[in-house]
Amino acid sequence: LFHHVVYHSLVTSTQVIAHQLVNEGAREGTIVVADEQTAGKGRLGRTWDSQHETGIWMSLILKPLVDFRQAPQLTLVAAVALARALQNKSGQQIDIKWPNDLLVNGKKICGILTELQADPDRIKSVIIGIGVNVNHEHFPQEITDIATSLKKESGKNFDRAELITDILDEFSWLYEAYLTNGFSLIKPLWEAHSLSIGKKVIARRAKDSLVGIALGINENGVLLLQDETGHVHEIYSADIEIS
Ligand code: BTN
């Protein structure tokens, strides 16, 4: 799947480069990788700390023939691939916090930013941005309490190129399996790493917050949250705090 790698030492954001490549007709499976980003993008308009050669900063270009409503599933496919690859390599337990934060010992080790290019009726391309904190010893003050790296957790350095290969191998078979068999194969794998299921959570959405028990995800990858009246809400986009 991933035969075309576009490597840069320094970029603003691999997402920005990937969007440009899509506009120039890049094919499915093109990957953009950088050693450092000056303007790494996180979810919800946040920035992403992308220091020189410490982490994996990459964007995958996909062109799946799936419906709009299934787009959140792709993020979960990526989360499963990353959780499996990072756990196998490091021996650390990797937890997924819905929808797409990967944590070790409660601290964030990896984030995923999925951006769509779409017509009203179909997805033209999906750009999955992946940031993995690999060999960081220090983080900026603001995130030092909430972020971690494979190095900080295990005391070891990891070869970034090897890790990229592992991540892409996991992603390739999971993505093929997802396209052939649908989300049903991915869902139990996602649940096996999930930190949120069965827990009381606060879901902070753009306009409101909901408190309830996270029951799990449905077939579209949407989070199901049961409030105290028993009503089950479908959460499409939110920040989740486990309480
Ligand atoms: C998050 O907020 O958790 C998502 C972070 C995604 C960061 C990655 S690093 C590679 C790619 N390029 C970017 O600018 N962002 C994503």
Does 4-193 match 200-242 in CATH topology? no
Query: Does 51 appear as a known binding residue?
Result: no
Helix axes 186-193, 71-90, angle to 10 degrees: 50
3-state secondary structure of 227: coil
Provide the CA 217 distance to its chain's centre, in angstroms.
16
Give yes or no for residue 14 CB within 6 A of ligand 1.
yes
Q: Is 75 in the pocket of ligand 1 (CB under 6 A)?
A: no
The protein residue with its alpha carbon nearest to ligand 1, atom 10, reads: 57
> Looking up tokens 């992603």, which residue turns up?
171
CA of 13 to the centre of ligand 1 (A): 8
Strands 30-37 and 4-11 turn out to be parallel
pTM of the model: 0.93
- Using CA atoms, how far residue 85 sits from 25, 41, 118, 216, 229, in Å, is 30, 23, 29, 23, 39
Nearest to 113 by CA among 125, 131, 95, 98: 131
Helix and strand element counts for the chain (H, E) = 5, 12
Domain boundaries along the sequence of the chain: 4-193, 200-242
Task: Find the distance separating the first CA and the last CA of the chain, reported in whole Å.
Answer: 40
- Cβ of 15 below 6 Å from ligand 1: yes
Regarding an ipTM greater than 0.95, the answer is yes
User: Which residue's alpha carbon is at the smallest distance from atom 9 of ligand 1?
Assistant: 131
Supply the CATH classification number for the domain 4-193. Answer: 3.30.930.10
Ligand 1 atom nearest 43 alpha carbon: 2
| Nearest atom in ligand 1 to 44's CA | 2
Please, are residues 93 and 104 in contact by the beta-carbon 8 Å criterion? yes
The pLDDT score that the predictor gives to residue 112 is 97
Ligand 1 contact, 99 CB (< 6 A): no
Per-residue model confidence as pLDDT tens digits over 131-186: 999 999 999 999 999 999 999 999 999 999 999 999 999 999 999 999 999 999 99
User: How confident is the model over 83-93, as a mean pLDDT?
Assistant: 97
CATH number of 200-242, picked from 2.30.30.100, 3.20.20.70, 3.40.50.2020, 3.40.50.980: 2.30.30.100
